[in-house]
Amino acid sequence: MALSYSRGCRRVTPNLSSEGQDMTETLAAKKCTPCRGGIPPLTHEEAERFQSQTPNWELRDDGHRIERTFRFRNFQEALGFVRDVGDLAETEGHHPDISFGWGYATISLRTKKIKGLHENDFIMASKIDRMFDRSDGPPDRQ
């Protein structure tokens, strides 16, 4: 699979409608762009605007990372999900911190080179949400 990325890490401001929807492109449809640093992380206000498109993710560490815990019926389902997230991370070139065990997987995202949040983190969160929503599983999963 050939990957194409735009160069550099750019400062972005979400283009949102009053309902919190991205008016030009959904996050899940975007690709992560490589970040070489040298730009400031998103402000707390900018992070909150992006977070409105990924409402199951919580802003943590004073808006410097986002996190979500996913629930599963057993260890095998959690492990399979973590493997799928790992494959996505390799494809996108953006790698989350992951902890998992019997019945859960916790995913934490931040852009390490800028020590905070970037649009890439919300792109990954949106893609992970879609992956989770499309997977087979019990209706009581969170």
Q: Using alpha carbons only, how large is the chain's radius of gyration in Å?
A: 15
Question: Residue 103: what pLDDT?
Answer: 97
The reported pLDDT for the residue numbered 33 is: 73
Predicted pLDDT of residue 88: 96
Closest CA to 85 of 63, 61, 68: 68
Where on the phi/psi map is residue 62: left (φ > 0), alpha (ψ -120 to 50), or beta?
Answer: left
Q: Are 57 and 83 in contact (CB under 8 A)?
A: no
CATH class held by domain 64-142: alpha beta
All structural domains of the chain with their residue ranges? 64-142
In 36-106, alpha helices (H): 44-51, 75-92
> b/e map of 103-126 (b: 16 or more CB within 10 Å)?
ebbbbbbbbeebebbbbbbbbbbb
pLDDT in tens, the chain (142 residues): 232 222 234 334 444 444 444 433 587 777 777 677 788 999 999 999 999 999 999 999 999 999 999 999 999 999 999 999 999 999 999 999 999 999 999 999 999 999 999 999 999 999 999 999 987 554 444 5
Contact present, 34 and 7 (Cβ < 8 Å): yes
CA-CA distance, 78 to 101, in Å (whole number)?
Answer: 7
Per-residue pLDDT, 25? 54
pLDDT one-digit tens code per residue, 90-127: 999 999 999 999 999 999 999 999 999 999 999 999 99
Say what the pTM is. 0.77
Amino acid 4: pLDDT: 26
Where does residue 14 rank: exposed (0-12), middle (13-18), buried (19+ CB within 10 A)?
buried
Q: Give pLDDT, residue 81.
A: 97
